[in-house]
Amino acid sequence: MSDCIFCKIASHEIPSEIVYEDEKICVYKDLSPQAPVHVLMIPKKHIESLDDVTEEDQELLGYMLYKVHDIVKLMGIENGYRVVSNNGEDAFQTVKHMHLHILGGRKFGWPPG
C-alpha cells in the first residue's frame, strides 16, 4: 500500500534497523523501544489488522508465529519474552499494518496496561 509507513520500511523506501527479512516477513527495531529488545515483525503483504485477514492468510500468520523463536534467538533474548499485537482503537493500534511486537530483556507486568 503506497502510503503505509510499514510497507515503505519493508520495501526499504524508509530506512529502519532491519534485523531479519525474507520473502514473507520483515523484522525491524521499534523506533520507540519499550524494552531492551523491542522489534516489530510485519508481513510484507499489507494487512491492516487481524480483523482483515482472509482464509488465504492462514499460512502466512502461522509462519509469523513460527518465526518468533528464531528472532528471539537472533536477538539474544533469554528467560522469556512477550509477543503483542494491538488491533483496533481500544488496543491503541497506531500503525494500520498488522504487526507483532516482540519484547524481551526485562520482566513484564500482568495485566498489561
The site for ligand 5GP (CB under 6 A) is made up of 5, 16, 28-32, 40, 86, 92-95
Omega of the bond prior to 33 within 30 degrees of 0, cis?
Answer: no
Smallest gap from Cβ 32 to ligand 5GP, in A, equals 4
How many other CB atoms are there within 10 angstroms of residue 42's CB atom? 24
Q: How many CA atoms lie within 13 A of 37 on its CB side?
A: 22
Choosing from 38, 46, 97, 99, the catalytic residue is 99
Which of Zn ion, ligand 5GP, none interacts with 97 (beta carbon under 5 to 8 A by kind)?
Zn ion
Which is closer to Zn ion, CB of 48 or CB of 63? Answer: 48
